[in-house]
Amino acid sequence: MSQIRALIVDDSSVMRKIVERSLRQAGLDLSSVMEAGNGAEALGILDANPVDLILSDINMPVMDGLEFVRQLQTVEKLRGVPVVMITTEGSESNVVQALSLGAKGYIRKPFTPDQVKEHVLPVLGL
């Protein structure tokens, strides 16, 4: 995969910027980065904009990350898009649930750019 179109879903604009910076530090060639503040907003963006990678927080207002992943699986064109959860949750249960719903990996906050690289590149087959 050469150029990657990414969608970052997090209610914190600071965290969205940090995730984007970490993806670039991981060596990903990003052709576009879109941002959404919650799952519902992300679904709206995905309706008109194809992406290759989604990174999503779990704990968000309006629509949380678990419901977002669940909804993604109901849309055929979005079902195959790899999703990596980014969470502050110390709990395994939310992570296990996200993976069972279709997420391909997870990163726990706080994280280093190396951890982003370690978790994101495999789901892209890189």
Partner 1 sequence: MTPFSESSIAIAVFDRTAWTPLLELSAREVFDIMLSTKLQAFDKSADLNDGEFTALVGLAGSLCGVLSIRCNDQAARTMASKMLGMPEEDVDNDSWDALGEIANMIAGNFKGKLSGVGNQCMLSVPTIIVGTDYETRSLRGGNMIEVVFGFEGKPLWVSLELHE
How many CB atoms within 10 Å of residue 8? 23
- Which lies closer to partner 1 via its Cβ, residue 16 or residue 104? 16
What SS3 class is residue 7? strand
Q: Indicate which single residue of 88, 100, 121, 122 sits in contact with partner 1 (rule: CB under 8 A).
A: 88
- Which lies closer to partner 1 via its Cβ, residue 80 or residue 90? 90
69 binds partner 1 (CB under 8 A): no
28 binds partner 1 (CB under 8 A): no
Listed ranges 28-36, 42-50, 71-79, 88-96: which one lies at the site for partner 1 (CB under 8 A): 88-96
Residues that bind partner 1 (CB under 8 A): 11-15, 17-18, 21, 58-61, 64, 66, 87-94, 97, 108-112
